[in-house]
Amino acid sequence: MDNQTAVVGTFEKIEEVEKAIRRLRAENIPINSVYSPFHSSEIREALGEPSLGPGRFFTLFGAIAGIATGIFLAVYTAAQWRFIVGGKYPIPYVPTVIPAFEFLILFAVFFSLGGMLWLNKMPKRRLSKTYDKRFSQDLFGIVVYCSASDCDGIEARMEQLGAREVRRIE
Amino acid sequence: MQSGQPQGLTSYAEADLQIIRTMWHPGTFYWFWIMVTGLGVAVGAIAWGYQIVTGLGAANVMHPVMWASYLTNFVFWVGIAHSGTLISAILFLFRASWRTTVSRASEAMTIFAVMIAGLFPLIHLGRVWIVYWILPYPNERNLWPNFQSPLVFDVIAISTYLTVSFLFWYTGMIPDLATIRDRTTGWRSRVYGFLALGWEGSNQSWRHYGTAYLFFAALATPLVISVHSVVSWDFALGISPGWHSTIFAPYFVAGAIHSGLAMVLVLLIPLRKIYKFENLLTIYVFEQIARTIILTGLIVGYSYAVEHFMSVYSGNEPEATQYHWRMTGYYSWCYWMMVVCNVFVPIALFFKKVRTNLKALFTIGILVLIGMWFERLVIIAGTQAHEFDPYSWGVYKYPSMVEWCILVGSFSLFFFLFLLFAKFLPTISITELKEAIPPGEIKG
């Protein structure tokens, strides 16, 4: 990979980081990551990201798998027992709604969580080199990967945009 | 300014420090209550052990009232569990600002309450070691649980609710655990780092997290409604007078939220005082909870009235007799206690002076909890004591010493677990708190 060096600009205020993202994107400087201590729709909008991630497909798959499991369990167990009362068919359909519904919720939640962990490559033992402990506390960080020739310019641009600190990470 | 937003925070670091400092030095008051509740847990455990050794005769459970205080406690605790998810999920979807500072503690309340509720069917079972028979697994007799039974619905619903509530709570806490990891050193940093699963808070992480959390909330919302509906069907699917009613599901859900909100008041008012969270748990937040209690109290009152009306208007003699007996019979004082505490006491919350007075709110919270416990007793024991045939009438003569000890043990365990939570985990969501600080108030 050409761009092995990362430039990390650290910002104090959300307005500053939002402005910096918009400027860097306008100048076609590719932003690798933006760290923030909380979920910010301003940052997401500045990055031009959609509000929902691909995790929603995990949820959908889990929900379908859950309904199928719930119905299967109820129907299968009734078929095993064959407790015929009054000549009625041994598999009742109405009561399958409850296990189907509960398993829908359960599996959808499992898959949502699993999807989030998988997409975020979690759990992980080592944090990224570009990560700074202050990013979970009170600072924001913009990470840009660059080639050796571009890094100086990007560092200077981050400083112009109000970065409190700019670091280069090899 | 009246709002649910945190007051007086001028930096994100302040939000971190205000929450995290409560975890390291809780003070002597805290340790005193840990001891008291720990003692209560021991009392409950000994009583349960005694019952296991001597049999269910140690409880006053006998024909015709086979479901007595243990099932009352079960339904009561499931009800308590409801507001946590209501606050965290439904208010999240509606973007209610006052949710921010109360959601974490309410979610914790939910989990502990469901755990305790789950203990009561085991206690009631007597032979607790064969509880696994209820689980759907292929045993040697090829005898499966009956999925047409509301009791099996209940097992599925409650275990789903516990699992989903726990995952919702834990997922919401991951970014906070990362904050604590980064603000500590040594073994604390390692433990919280392990629990934070390597969270970094990049834009990609937040996006996937936001998607998952939104779906968690969207899935938990119908779950809240379904769980207590299923609990109500334990009764409503039986043909007993006083139980066999289509109103039971919404009536139980409203009652559950009513009692859960009362418990939120009872937990958060002392928490605010002990942890000096006056700037976070503002009066406005409590006022909003009080307003919601007015709503649930009115629904519960309406349900009580409609039940009685239906019993008379339907011309169903056993049903009408049952409701008349509730008002005038053996459990009539419990019935009137329930009506007064659940319906009339919350009417006081229509007055702003009461809604904004924490002592009054705390008292009303306690009274509603008492009222809701009696409601469960009246419904469960009352119906079994006075069914169709006069020759099988009989009463449950209130809890035995073992039952009282187990009840005390359950409350002690609940508060004990909540105190442990308050010591080791952030009681208010740190990241949501930072999100709620208006950017203009942040000083560089």
Q: Where in chain A is the domain with CATH 3.30.70?
A: 5-51+126-169
Q: What one-character-per-residue DSSP string does B46-61 give? A: HHHHHHHHH-GGGTT-
Using an 8 Å CB-CB cutoff, list chain B residues near A33.
202-204
- Partner residue facing A120 (CB), from B204, B216, B444: B204
Which residues on neighbouring strands pair with residue A163, listed in sequence order?
none
Mutate to test the interface with A, among B219, B221, B432 (most CBs of A within 10 A): B219
Q: What is the pLDDT of residue B444?
A: 60
Cβ contact, residue pair B148, A92, below 8 Å:
yes
Mutate to test the interface with A, among B137, B148, B170, B433 (most CBs of A within 10 A): B148
Using an 8 Å CB-CB cutoff, list chain B residues near A113.
167, 171, 212, 216
Architecture of domain A5-51+126-169: 2-Layer Sandwich (3.30)
Mutate to test the interface with A, among B9, B10, B12 (most CBs of A within 10 A): B12
Q: What is the pLDDT of residue B172?
A: 94
Which residues lie closer than 8 Å to A28 by C-beta, 6 or more apart? none
Cβ contact, residue pair A95, B163, below 8 Å:
no
**Residue B83 structure tokens:** 């507001």
Q: What is the pLDDT of residue B364?
A: 98
The residue behind tokens 């809604």 is B355
Distance between A133 CA and the closest CA of chain B, angstroms = 5
- Partner residue facing A52 (CB), from B160, B175, B211: B211
Q: What is the pLDDT of residue B70?
A: 94
Distance between A153 CA and the closest CA of chain B, angstroms = 24
Report how far residue B431's alpha carbon sits from residue B205's, in angstroms, rounded to the nearest whole number. 14
Residues of chain B with pLDDT under 70: 1-4, 444
Asked if B22 contacts B31 with a C-beta cutoff of 8 angstroms, the reply is no
Q: What is the pLDDT of residues B83-141, one digit of tens each?
A: 788 778 888 888 888 888 899 999 999 999 999 999 999 999 989 998 888 777 877 77
Q: What average pLDDT is seen over chain A?
A: 91
Which residues lie closer than 8 Å to B21 by C-beta, 6 or more apart? none
Report how far residue A90's alpha carbon sits from residue A104's, in angstroms, rounded to the nearest whole number. 24
Whole-number percent of chain B with pLDDT over 90: 73
Interface membership of A126 toward B (CB under 8 Å): yes
Cβ contact, residue pair B203, A112, below 8 Å:
no
Interface membership of A33 toward B (CB under 8 Å): yes
Q: What is the pLDDT of residue B183?
A: 93
Please give the average per-residue pLDDT across A147-154, as a whole number.
88
DSSP annotation of B350 reads G
Residues written for chain B: 444
Mutate to test the interface with A, among B154, B159, B208 (most CBs of A within 10 A): B208
pLDDT band (50, 70, 90) for residue A1? very low
Interface membership of A23 toward B (CB under 8 Å): no
The domain spans of chain B are 12-134+145-161+222-441
Asked if B369 contacts B262 with a C-beta cutoff of 8 angstroms, the reply is yes
Cβ contact, residue pair B209, A120, below 8 Å:
yes
Q: Write the secondary structure of B138-184 as one string of H (helix), E (strand) and C (coil).
A: CCCCCCCCCCCCHHHHHHHHHHHHHHHHHHHHHHHHHHHHHHHHHHC
Q: Which amino acid is at B427?
A: T
Interface membership of A123 toward B (CB under 8 Å): yes
Pairing of strands A33-35, A5-11: unpaired
pLDDT band (50, 70, 90) for residue A2? low
The residue behind tokens 């009461």 is B354
Q: What is the pLDDT of residues A101-122, one digit of tens each?
A: 999 999 999 999 999 999 999 9
Q: Which amino acid is at B389?
A: D
Distance between B138 CA and the closest CA of chain A, angstroms = 9
Rg (CA), chain B: 23
B256 CB neighbour count, 10 Å cutoff = 29
Using an 8 Å CB-CB cutoff, list chain B residues near A6.
none
Cβ contact, residue pair B167, A113, below 8 Å:
yes
User: What's the Cα-to-Cα distance from A74 to each of A82, A86, A105, B134, B215, rounded to whole Å?
Assistant: 12, 20, 16, 14, 26
**Residue B232 structure tokens:** 């109500």
Q: What is the pLDDT of residue A3?
A: 65
CATH code of B12-134+145-161+222-441, in short, is 1.20.1630.10
Cβ contact, residue pair A106, B160, below 8 Å:
yes
Whole-number percent of chain A with pLDDT over 70: 97
Interface membership of A74 toward B (CB under 8 Å): yes
- Partner residue facing A55 (CB), from B143, B198, B208: B208
